[in-house]
Structure 1
Amino acid sequence: MNKELSQYINEAKNVVIFTGAGISTESGIPDFRGPQGIWKTNTPIYFQDFISSEEVRLESWKRKFSGKDIIRKAKPNIGHLAVAEIINKHESAYLITQNVDNLHQDAGVPDNKITEIHGNASYASC
């Protein structure tokens, strides 16, 4: 970690870290907007279509679970481990993430120090 950034973090009263898909790409999980991301390879499913069509709902759930094997096999990378170290080192540190892959927890971030804006794919079931 950059020495100056490390000093700021060590001297801070509170630390909040925000992460998104980019932190997990090194672990083999594609982001949503990259060349192989969901937004490039699938047409959107709109809420009104989801509500009105069983076929569309089935397609939506199929998509939701299609990445489960990728997520299950992924391991935390150096970024996740660095975030976990900061969170665990500072009592008032907290993590907010858009990621649904559970890699922050696998790296050692406790559940009470993380908010998952989009939920967590490891908790979803059908």
Structure 2
Amino acid sequence: MKDNNSETEPDIDQSTIPSGIFTYYDDPARYHLPVEYFLIGKFVTQNDCLLFETDNELYTPVLPAKYTEYTKGDAQITVNKEVYNIGETGDVSARPLEKKYIGNFITQGPSHCLLDKFMRVEVRGVRDK
């Protein structure tokens, strides 16, 4: 029996969602503006956490669940068609975000990986049908 009062679950194949990282639901019905902001830095692993380092500061990345491929211990992370090698500096379509604007996570990494600073990784080149 389904509870009609519960929040609607996003239409995501749960088996494809990466675990051990923080992800959000990117609503494909939402209008996507071209991504015009980038952070230059690198994904790093520290204390079993996937983090992002830019300007000598660490951020907890929050990634789009539907478009992210990553398993703990991988040497790279893929967001849509963009591949980022862990430890290699590059530009990431992302923006810093305050904790109060994060919303609900689809998946959550370990609680000790939640830093005071977040970055929301956006998807490049997604077009609605």
Q: What TM-score bracket applies, with the shorter chain setting the length? A: under 0.3
Q: Which has the higher helix share?
A: 1
TM-score by structure 1 length?
0.23
Higher relative contact order (CA 8 A, sep 6+): 2
Bigger Cα Rg: 1
Instruction: Report which of the two has the higher share of strand.
Output: 2
TM-score, normalising length: structure 2: 0.23
